[in-house]
Amino acid sequence: MDAGSNLEARTQTIESFSCGYRAGFKIKWRTPSRDADLVKGYEVNWREESIAYDRQSGTKSVGLDTEFTTPCSLKLQPGRLYWTTVRTIVELKHPKETIFVEETASSIILG
């Protein structure tokens, strides 16, 4: 097991919801199993699985929260496959450096 996996957030649940004619998702994750005191925050990344040039993607910094709900204003498309990852922002002490530990991507088809 590499050191990064100890600092990896792990998705617990990801749920789809409806926003009128659009859709969204809510994602929750567990904090890293070790060295949680080094965690300075999280980023949630998402991207639509599509061959279209205008596929949707985004990133949201959420501080130390362990869940995120997409706002309906993003206008995500129902019936489409989206990939999500939670990235842990870690501040190392010796040497002093910030690193990013990304979990394995999860997928969801929005309803």
CB distance 95 to 8 below 8 Å: no
48-63 pLDDT, tens digit per residue, is 998 766 778 999 999 9
What rounded mean pLDDT belongs to the chain? 90
pLDDT classification of 6: cutoffs 50, 70, 90? confident
Q: Span 70-79, mean pLDDT?
A: 92
At 1 the pLDDT is 42
pLDDT, position 56 = 85
Residue 47 has a pLDDT of 94
Answer whether the bond into residue 32 is a cis peptide, omega within 30°.
no
